Amino acid sequence: MSKLLAVGSIAFDEIETPFGKTGKILGGAATFIGLAASQFKIDIGVVSVVGEDMPQEYLDILKDRGIDISGVEIIKGGKTFYWKGKYHNDLNSRDTLITELNTLGDFDPVVPDNYKDADIVMLGNLHPSIQLSVIAQMEKKPKLIVLDTMNFWMDNTWDELMEVIGKIDVITINDEEARQLTEEYSLVAAAEKIQEMGPRYVVIKKGEHGALLFHEDKVFFAPALPLREVFDPTGAGDTFAGGFAGFITEARNISFESMKNGIIQGSNLASFCVERFGIERMLSLEKSEIDERLHQFKELTQFNIELS
């Protein structure tokens, strides 16, 4: 089986939406990436760090889905990364109320030996120097390195971010972040500039308005499925990235055409993620539901126009 290595946070999240609030629940980018990618027939290993306060049954959720967590370090006496967020009424924007880095603050990632030859590497949103360290530990050049990042790193660690962006193949960022990164309003112009920084493929996420894939002079657009029920968008971006990376890993095909399907698979999985708090919906997700929604995606985007 093809191998995917994912690095990212494993967290306690506390979430408030217009529909209610949670206590501390399992979250983190690596958790969402792992759960999404585990829907594909691949080997997946996660590199992360948690404190001793992380219940074993939370880690078992990942293990039970076939995710190799031997790269998840448990720091004795340490506390797990904690994030609290509150969504506005439109659910499109949120305020971060609390970020306690805890063990993530001095995370020194160690890639397990059996993942140093992973085919695909998914670098979840983290300090760019952690992402660089993971790339440096790979013994075989991965076929594809996918990077997710956010405005926080643009504001605070610009030089390291530029260094890691120069070493990767695919970047996934949201529209506002693409504009901040390039100082371009047009997303087409922004994607061109980002490609000049390094990545050959640029994925710009537009939340409930879908995602764009740019490569050279080609562009592809995947809508987000119009959903009746959007409950909690936390982790949608990571689920999208995990679905994308998981699909490409299974397909063993790195081409624009293959990535189009990857974008659809990522969007499809993200559409489930937002239906419940945190990871809840991803845990009950059945293969038949995934397939059914892929049909809906096809219906949504197909039309028969007569062209001369």
Shortest spacing between CB 124 and ligand AMP, in angstroms: 7
Would you count residue 27 as binding ligand AMP (CB under 6 A)? yes
Would you count residue 234 as binding ligand AMP (CB under 6 A)? yes
Which string of DSSP letters, residue by residue, matches the chain?
--EEEEE---EEEEEEETTEE-SSEEE-HHHHHHHHHTTSSSEEEEEEEEETTS-HHHHHHHHHTTEEEEEEEEETT----EEEEEE-TTSS-EEEEEEE-GGGGG------GGGTT-SEEEE-SS-HHHHHHHHHH-SS--SEEEEE--HHHHHH-HHHHHHHHTT-SEEEEEHHHHHHHHT-SSHHHHHHHHHHHS-SEEEEE-GGG-EEEEETTEEEEEPPPP-S-----TTHHHHHHHHHHHHHHHHT--SHHHHHHHHHHHHHHHHHHTTSSTTHHHHH--HHHHHHHHHHHHHHH-------
Answer for which of 5, 6, 29, 259 binds ligand AMP (CB under 6 A) is 29
Per CB under 6 A, which of residues 191..210 are in contact with ligand AMP? none
Shortest spacing between CB 11 and ligand AMP, in angstroms: 3
Per CB under 6 A, which of residues 237..266 are in contact with ligand AMP? 237-238
Answer for which of 2, 7, 9, 75 binds ligand AMP (CB under 6 A) is 9
Shortest spacing between CB 170 and ligand AMP, in angstroms: 16
Q: How many residues bind ligand AMP (CB under 6 A)?
A: 16
Q: How many Cβ atoms sit within 10 Å of the Cβ of residue 36?
A: 33
Shortest spacing between CB 169 and ligand AMP, in angstroms: 20
Answer for which of 7, 47, 126, 191 binds ligand AMP (CB under 6 A) is 126
Would you count residue 232 as binding ligand AMP (CB under 6 A)? no
Shortest spacing between CB 82 and ligand AMP, in angstroms: 8
Would you count residue 5 as binding ligand AMP (CB under 6 A)? no
CB nearer to ligand AMP: pick between 29 and 59: 29
Answer for which of 4, 5, 6, 13 binds ligand AMP (CB under 6 A) is 13
Would you count residue 17 as binding ligand AMP (CB under 6 A)? no
Please give the residue ranges that form the binding site for ligand AMP (CB under 6 A). Answer: 9, 11, 13, 27-29, 83, 99, 125-126, 152, 234-238
